[in-house]
Structure formats: structure tokens, C-alpha cells
Chains A and B, each alone.
Chain A
Amino acid sequence: MSFQIPIGPQHPALKEPVGVRVTVDGEIIREADLRLGYNHRGVEKLAEQKTWTQNIYLMERICGICSHSHATCYVQGVEKLMEIEPPKRGLYIRILVSELERVHSHLLWLGVAGHEAGFDSFFMYVWRDREIVMDILETISGNRVHYAINAIGGVRRDLDELQIKHILDSLEVLRQRSAYYEKLGTTEPSFVARLAGVGYLSREDAIELCAVGPTLRASGVPMDVRKDDPYAVYDEVPFEVCTADSCDVLGRTVVRIKELLQSYNIIEFLLKNLPAGPISVRAPRRAKPNEVVSRYEAPRGENIHYIKSNGSDKPERLKVRAPTLANYAATIKMLKNGFIADVPLIFAAIDPCICCAERSVAIVDARTAQERIVTMSSLRELSLKTAKHQARKREAEWPL
């Protein structure tokens, strides 16, 4: 007997509303199918009608969690089109904000992973510490979410000595806390047992399906745009690409925690080596006809913008590909032959943005066509119940 379960289009574990229909055989998922577009806002069409400067703010609003990623990816492409070179100090501040954003995004994810795995105290600890980063971002830019720090040709706000000291002090706290989470998240037996072996994506599949970001790196592929295609000042900054070989949700957790620690080092390096000078240069209003491919490593993976100019003050074409879209094909693969109780965990593991709303999932009986509505919380309870009586999985490996 097989059931079909539509999950979404409204779903608490997804950034964009997305419809997933899973066919289950007992507890095991046999087929999964995606339906996108519930949150399609026509940004690419809209961008063709806005000027270069207006588009910065449009791009920033593509995503709430990685707002800086899209804005930076766009801005550095436009700077190439306009043939201007932003000053070093501007680039350093831009990258500083992008690393802080990575920290807050990864901490957010870590909390969600704890929540989905039934480790709620972990979730609350991590999110409490995420406030430290949010406060830093607020001191730099004046905003917690849409920093609006980018301008074509540099950044809009400078840093002073007091701010630098504040960031370095806060960083020390974050380092200590993250070291503790590293220990907890990777050695706490019940937490590790819940994550290990879930959402398996082999190295070959991850490459075939063009996955990006921590999802890809957790399958053992050391691909990071910051290293492969160093934009801005990443060629001067020492850091390592973090990978894991376990190919499961545990691996994705480990990769993100390691990246957090790397990000702290990058932030410290940037602040200690912050060059003096102006933070931006004046940008022209128009760009010559040309085209550019701009890549950026967002917290969720590779972000790519293709921008074509036609000589006017508006883009001819602006193509945006956000990292979550690239990971959907891999998610389908991960869901197949997994347990229905693992669905929230696997979804959360590619790090689609979590909106904390409680939504419902309908389970349709394939034979009687009767629908029963279960809330996401009861699906989660089912997930916890299943995990509770499960023997420790034998492939549970300690990655650190």
C-alpha cells in the first residue's frame, strides 16, 4: 500500500513555499516530487525596469537571511560592468559583513538542526548567541536583517575604532560558545545518533546533481567559490575549505560548525588588517554594453548572477540563481528511500530559511482518497517518537 503525502506549499522548513509530494510505502519514501513557484515574485523581470542603484535594494530583498549575498553578488558584477574598482577598505568592510552574515546564518541553521532533532535546549542556546552577531551587524549597518551596506563602488558606512573593539570582544565570546557547540553537536551521543546516516547523498550524486555549498562539501567535494574563484579580497585572506565525508546530515552539521570557526578567523584577520583610506568611489550612472558572470559564496552555497548591460542606466538582463534552487535536485535524491519521519530534518539540512509558522501537511490515502490533516508539529512528534526507540545506527561515525 502506498500513500502520497503533499508537503507544502506552505511549510515551516522552507524559505520559499514549495510543494513536495512524497509517495510513501509504509514509513519509507519511494518517490518525491517538487512543485516550485509559489513565491515567484518576478524579480528578474522587475530588475529590467529599475536603475542600477535601485536594483541593489531589490536584490537585497530576494532573501532575508542572506540579503547581503545577493546584493554583493550583484554589486560586484555591476562594478565590473562599469569598470570601477572599489577601494580596499570598502572591500574589507563588505567581506566583513558577508562573513558576519555567514556566522549568523550558520548559527541559525545549527539551532534549527537542534530543534528538528529534538534537542531544543541546543536550539535556544545557539539562538541566544546568534543575537551577538545580530547586534554586531546592527552596530555596523544600523539594521539587523537588510544591512543596506553595499553601494556600487564600495560600501555606505565606515567602521571606527570603538566598533572594531566591540566586534573583537564579541568575537571572543562567540569563539568560546562555538567551541562548546562543536563539542556538543559532534560528540553528544543521542544528537549524533539522530543525525548520522540521515539524508544520505553520495559524492557522485552530489556532483551529478550540481549541489552547492555545505550540502556538496559534506559529501566530500571541496568546492568553495571563495577559494576557487576568489572575489573581492579572498585571495589575501587565509582560510580553509571545510569538508566532511559522511555525506549525511551529521556531515552537513560538522561542515557548518567548522565554517563558523573559519569565519571567526577571517573576521579577526579583516579587522586587524583593515587598510586606511576611502570606503567607496563614485560610480557612473550608465554602464557600457557588456556582460558579466558574478559568483559569490553565500552561506548556503554558490550564488550566481549573470548581468548584461545595454548602455543605459538599466540592466538588459539580470539572471539570479540562488543556492537553494541548486540544492533541490539533491534534496529529492536525499528524500528517496529515507524515512518519512526524517523529512523535516532532511529539508532543514539544505538550509532553506525557516519561518517559524506552524503549517499543516495533508496525508492522502491513495486507496480511499481520504485526507487527514496533520500539523507539522505532530509530524515532528512522530519524528521524535521514531527516533527515540531506534537503535544507534551502525554507520554513526565520529567525524572529529
Chain B
Amino acid sequence: MNDQVLIDKINEGLKDKVVAITNPAPRRLFLQVTADNLLPVVGWLKHELGITHLSTISGLDLGQSFELLYHFANNCCALTLRTEIPREQPVLTSICEIIPGAILYERELQDMFGITVQNIPDGRPLLLPDDWPAGNYPLRKDWKYERPPEVIPGGKS
């Protein structure tokens, strides 16, 4: 199965769900889908093409919106699903019912971007410390780290 065969199959099976397909390099496919179509597309990829390996989910802060990239792979191609959600309402549906291995990546998204993942089987914080202040999402572009003033215990100030 090479890239062109895959593109043809996707065009045939998902023509109303996929907004755009690009193939910028050999063995690299980028599929643009809307957030509502994410679940059916992931399900279709799994059941029709047998693409079950999710490498990771990358989040991106575009300013007005968040872009999510679901990096899938099989034995001939690395396929990336791209979707966008608005910044004001960062809500996403979990794909864990189709790909159970996605759980850690979705929890990471919640921590780092403040995206709410609906239907996630286990939505506890994953990476950030227990005493992390609420509403701080480190990978958003407008988040800046400020070192807290150093206090010497028993010192002058």
C-alpha cells in the first residue's frame, strides 16, 4: 500500500468528512477534519484501513483556536489527522473508546492546554504538580513562567 492508494481509499470512503488531504513528503499524509467528524473518521481508519497505532496527539496554540494533531501510523505511512477547536470553547471528544491507548495523550492535552476532553475514562491531571494553580496552562502561547521571589527561611527577607 503506498501513499496514492491510501489517498484514493480515503477519498472514496470519507469524501464528505475530510476537508483536505495533503501529502507533503513520501509516507506522510495530513488529513483535515472538523472536530465533529473526528470520531467517525478515527473509527473508519481503524476498521476499514486497520490503522490502530496512535503515536501521539500534538496540541498547538494558534491564537484564536487550538489545533490538534493526531499522529497515526501503520506499516507504510504516518498519517496525521488535523482538527481545530475554538479557544473560547475548548471542548473535544475522547477517542479512547476506539483507541484505548490515547488516554495518556488526552490527559496531557487537558493539563497543558486546558482543553476539556469529553467522555474521557479517566480525566485526572497527569503531568502537572498537585499544587499547580488552576487556570494555568503552560503550553498556551500567552502563558509565561515567572520565577517566584526567593524567600530564605529565617533570612532577612
Which residues of A pack against B, CB within 8 Å? 35-37, 40, 42, 44-45, 80, 207-211, 222-223, 227-229, 290, 292-293, 295, 302, 304, 306, 308, 316-317, 319, 321, 325-326, 328-330
Known contacts: A36-B126, A223-B75, A329-B100. The answer to whether A293 contacts B52 by CB under 8 A is no
Which residues of B pack against A, CB within 8 Å? 24-25, 27-28, 52-56, 58-61, 69, 71, 73-78, 80, 99-105, 126-129, 138-139, 145
Q: Can you list 14 pairs linking A and B with CB atoms under 8 Å apart? A: A36-B126, A45-B139, A45-B145, A208-B52, A211-B101, A223-B75, A228-B73, A229-B27, A229-B73, A308-B60, A317-B60, A319-B69, A325-B56, A329-B103
Q: Are B104 and A229 in contact (CB under 8 A)?
A: no
Kindly identify which residue among A36, A229, A317, A328 contacts B58, using a CB–CB cutoff of 8 Å: A317
Q: Are B100 and A209 in contact (CB under 8 A)?
A: yes
Q: How far is the CB of B144 from chain A (nearest CB, A)?
A: 10
Kindly identify which residue among A44, A210, A321 contacts B99, using a CB–CB cutoff of 8 Å: A210
Q: Are B55 and A295 in contact (CB under 8 A)?
A: yes
Chain A residues within 8 Å of B126, by CB = 35-37
Q: Are B73 and A302 in contact (CB under 8 A)?
A: yes
Q: Are A228 and B58 in contact (CB under 8 A)?
A: no
| A1, B57: Cα distance in complex, Å | 39
| A229, B69: Cα distance in complex, Å | 19
Q: Are A304 and B56 in contact (CB under 8 A)?
A: yes
Q: Are B60 and A293 in contact (CB under 8 A)?
A: no
Chain B residues within 8 Å of A80, by CB = 25
B112's nearest neighbour on chain A, judged by CB, is A44
Known contacts: A37-B126, A329-B103. The answer to whether A306 contacts B71 by CB under 8 A is yes
Q: Are B127 and A321 in contact (CB under 8 A)?
A: no
Chain A residues within 8 Å of B58, by CB = 306, 317, 319
Q: Are A293 and B71 in contact (CB under 8 A)?
A: yes
Q: Are A293 and B28 in contact (CB under 8 A)?
A: yes
Chain B residues within 8 Å of A304, by CB = 55-56, 71
Q: Are A295 and B73 in contact (CB under 8 A)?
A: yes
Q: Are B73 and A36 in contact (CB under 8 A)?
A: no
Q: Are B55 and A326 in contact (CB under 8 A)?
A: yes
Q: Are B78 and A328 in contact (CB under 8 A)?
A: no
Chain A residues within 8 Å of B25, by CB = 80, 292
Closest 10 CB pairs of A and B: A210-B101, A37-B127, A321-B56, A319-B58, A209-B101, A306-B58, A228-B75, A304-B55, A210-B54, A208-B100
| A325, B61: Cα distance in complex, Å | 23
| A40, B145: Cα distance in complex, Å | 14
| A319, B67: Cα distance in complex, Å | 13
| A40, B27: Cα distance in complex, Å | 32
| A194, B41: Cα distance in complex, Å | 44
Chain A residues within 8 Å of B54, by CB = 210
Chain B residues within 8 Å of A321, by CB = 55-56, 105
Known contacts: A37-B128, A42-B138, A329-B100. The answer to whether A207 contacts B52 by CB under 8 A is yes
Known contacts: A45-B138, A228-B73, A228-B76. The answer to whether A325 contacts B127 by CB under 8 A is no
Kindly identify which residue among A210, A222, A308 contacts B102, using a CB–CB cutoff of 8 Å: A210
Chain B residues within 8 Å of A40, by CB = 127-128
Chain B residues within 8 Å of A207, by CB = 52-53
B78's nearest neighbour on chain A, judged by CB, is A293
Chain B residues within 8 Å of A319, by CB = 56, 58-59, 69
Q: Are A223 and B53 in contact (CB under 8 A)?
A: yes
Q: How far is the CB of B102 from chain A (nearest CB, A)?
A: 7
Chain A residues within 8 Å of B105, by CB = 321
A211's nearest neighbour on chain B, judged by CB, is B101
Chain B residues within 8 Å of A317, by CB = 58, 60-61
Instruction: Knowing that A222-B75, A228-B73, A319-B58 touch, tell me 8 more A-B residue pairs with CB under 8 angstroms.
Output: A45-B139, A208-B100, A210-B54, A211-B101, A292-B28, A317-B58, A317-B60, A328-B104
